[in-house]
Chain A
Amino acid sequence: MSKDILVVDNLNMHYETLEGKVMAVNNVTFSVKEGESFGLVGESGCGKSSVASTLLQLQSDNAVISSGSIKLDEKELVGMTESELRKVRWNDISIVFQGAMNAWNPVIKIGEQIREAIREHYPSNSKKENTEKISELFKIVGLEDSIMDRYPHELSGGMKQRAVIALALSCDPKIVIADEPTTALDVVIQDQILKEIKKVQELLGLSLIYISHDIAVIAEMTDNMAVMYAGSIVEKGPTASIFSNPRHAYTRLLLESTPSVVGEKKKLRALDGEPPSLINGLDACAFSPRCPDPSDDCKNGNLEMKLIEIEDGHWADQCCVNCG
């Protein structure tokens, strides 16, 4: 059994806003093993990127971590000083931010921007060493060396995203978070990038947290997964087990609302209504207003939300398990 590299325990984070507290991460608990690929799925605004930024302790200024722990290789990240964090970030844990491919500095060549990042962490490296390192990374993500001398606007979306992945790998992290890395890309390019990420992960033995709103991509990319709704994990476990035996009503709807090009053509199920506002938190099951079959207990908020293990490593909200 490989060991846990990241352990997130009962993490709570909210944003302070004029309208009140936006409860973006509620009691989030999960762990990721060495070499494992872990998926985080849920619709826009459910808190996926908030989890991601908190894991690197790069959440925005109005964010408050009210409780919980994030242990990376047994080191506690919550409460670490900025200088301690700087040693961990990019070296141990790195991230491909959502939309990062559009965040390159437009007036600096791609190679120089990556070299700069490496210099910060390995100040003693020579320029030649760093260039060799980038060349090696480019080979892994399928870019030619000549790309180093290009400006961001001279690259296609797919090339920019490959370069972002190379950047995330540049300080040899143990775990990489990829937040919607293919969402803005065309299907064919997405396919190439997905293959590239898989290849890199296997080659380097990386752990991966793959974030997406697309359940089909999660099915292909991950060993274990968690489904998020309104800031909470409502179901988690082995990807195969969640697909074959989804227990939360939201997970079921997600699975039944995804079209496919293989198999019988199915009538898809629509999910009406909208996700709840996260301002000032929720009492009853957050999904109950959209749930096709809520029990009285759910509607009255009689059962508190709590994950229980229903089969080996497969957890779901107790309320839903008892209903369905």
Chain B
Amino acid sequence: MDNVIEVNNLVKNFDVSKGFFSRNKTIVKAVDGISFSIPKGESLGLVGQSGCGKTTTARALCLLDPKTSGDVKFYNPEADEMQNLDNLNDDQVKQFRRNTQMIFQDPYESLNPRWTIKDIILEPLNIHNIGSLENRTEAVVEILKTVGLTPPENYLPRYPHELSGGQRQRVSIARSLIMNPKFVICDEPTSMLDVSIRISIMDLMLDLAKDLQVSYLYITHDLAVARYMCNRIAVMFNGKIVEIAKTEDLLSNPIHPYTKRLISSIPVPDPKYTREKYEINFDELDEIISNNTENLPMVDVGNEHFVATHDVKDLLI
């Protein structure tokens, strides 16, 4: 299968030792040896509770922060081949940055408040020196239409603070899509938005994925949102992926206790429905998963459904 990204044993540690000369190094293993790949045109959800390492993963994959170790290969459409992020020359780094974009949680923080919408969306074209000035402006107008900010003339001269949260998020989507990327990493792109606006942004992203053949790594702590957006879901706990499967399979047949706990914690919009209570002891779980010095193998339970364990029987706690 052709993939847009292949991640092998990605590790990202933070040194949080107090004091410059401290003897004992304290390391936070924010991402602790995760592996996954995303086929072209498909989207993978990365879910898990706060602090489990989702954003750290995203930042390492985008080269915003250096990874500690592991292999990341991405599909470079300009060379039509998989390339290892460690061995890119300067041109290839530029190609990587063109073809891999990121959308952040807070559209306000990620947009320069002193720039107009036009300049914000133009920036990537300017940096990569794509097209003539006239072509660039045309491209900005087109992309504003694509993300539903019409008529574009109304938005071009405005500043981010003059837009609503939903409109700002449309601007960040426009900015990331203007480069025609094949892979977009989205970190909670709708969690700051009201429910009603959330759906139109999610629908927009789904339409764009289909029309432009974009793949997403879609980060969220809300499994219901991941279900709406993704073909497959990877569940992360304490820096590790504990289960990965096709979306409906994961939801109807979760195997890992943490996945079960996560599913059972999502409120259901139906007063007649009583959620199954699934309690687990997080410390115990932590011990099983994190204190394994070797990474647990991912066991295939069929239907491309993988669980991190030596033996599925170990998980029946």
Which A residues have a C-beta under 8 Å from some C-beta of B?
A: 43-44, 157, 186-191, 194, 213-217, 219-220, 239-240, 243-244, 253-255, 257-263, 265, 268-272, 274
Contact = CB atoms under 8 A, between A and B. Distances in A.
Interface residues of B, number: 36
Interface stretch (B6-14, B72-80, B81-89, B268-276): B268-276
Nearest to A223: B271
B228 A259 contact: yes
Contacts of A259: 222, 224-225, 227-228
B203 A270 contact: yes
Contacts of B270: 219, 243, 260, 262-263
B262 to A, nearest CB: 7
B268 A261 contact: yes
Contacts of B264: 191
30 contacts: A43-B195, A157-B50, A186-B49, A186-B221, A187-B49, A187-B223, A188-B262, A189-B50, A190-B265, A194-B267, A213-B195, A214-B267, A216-B267, A216-B268, A217-B267, A219-B268, A219-B271, A240-B272, A243-B272, A253-B196, A257-B199, A258-B195, A260-B266, A261-B263, A261-B266, A265-B227, A265-B228, A268-B228, A271-B199, A274-B197
A67 B215 CA distance: 55
A261 to B, nearest CB: 5
Given A188-B49, A244-B272, 17 more contacts: A44-B194, A186-B50, A186-B221, A191-B267, A213-B194, A214-B267, A215-B195, A216-B266, A219-B267, A219-B268, A220-B275, A253-B196, A257-B198, A257-B199, A260-B224, A268-B202, A274-B197
A216 B269 contact: yes
Contacts of A271: 196-197, 199-200
Most buried by A among B49, B195, B266, B272: B195
- Say whether chain B's binding surface is mostly helix, strand, loop, or mixed: helix
A253 B199 CA distance: 11
A305 B197 CA distance: 25
Nearest to A290: B196
Interface string B124-156: 000000000000000000000000000000000
B209 interface: no
A254 B195 contact: yes
Contacts of A217: 267
A220 B268 CA distance: 7
A116 B262 CA distance: 38
B227 A269 contact: no
B40 interface: no
B249 interface: no
Interface in B253-294: 261-273, 275
B196 A43 contact: yes
Contacts of A191: 264-267
Contacts of A220: 267-268, 271, 275
Closest 8 CB pairs of A and B: A271-B196, A191-B265, A270-B200, A216-B267, A186-B50, A216-B269, A259-B224, A270-B199
B171 to A, nearest CB: 15
A188 B199 contact: no
Contact of A261 (B49, B197, B227): B227
A246 B280 CA distance: 37
B268 A265 contact: no
Interface of B: 49-50, 164, 166, 194-200, 202-203, 221-225, 227-228, 248, 251, 261-273, 275
Contacts of B166: 274
Contacts of B198: 257
Contacts of B202: 268
A274 B164 contact: yes
Contacts of B266: 187, 191, 216, 260-261
A265 B269 CA distance: 13
A324 to B, nearest CB: 18
A247 B202 CA distance: 26
Contacts of B261: 188
B109 to A, nearest CB: 16
Given A261-B223, A261-B227, A188 B195 contact: no
A258 B248 CA distance: 18
A83 to B, nearest CB: 40
Chain B CB within 10 A, most for which of A157, A217, A219:
A219
A292 to B, nearest CB: 12
A170 to B, nearest CB: 27
B225 to A, nearest CB: 6
B271 A187 contact: no
Nearest to A182: B267
Nearest to B276: A262
A41 B79 CA distance: 52
A44 B198 CA distance: 12
Contacts of B222: 187, 259
Contacts of A272: 200
Contacts of A263: 270
Contacts of B196: 43, 253-254, 257, 270-271
Nearest to B269: A216
A261 B251 contact: yes
Contact of A239 (B49, B195, B263, B271): B271
Nearest to B203: A270
A3 to B, nearest CB: 24
Contacts of A219: 267-271, 273
Contacts of B194: 43-44, 213
A262 B267 contact: no
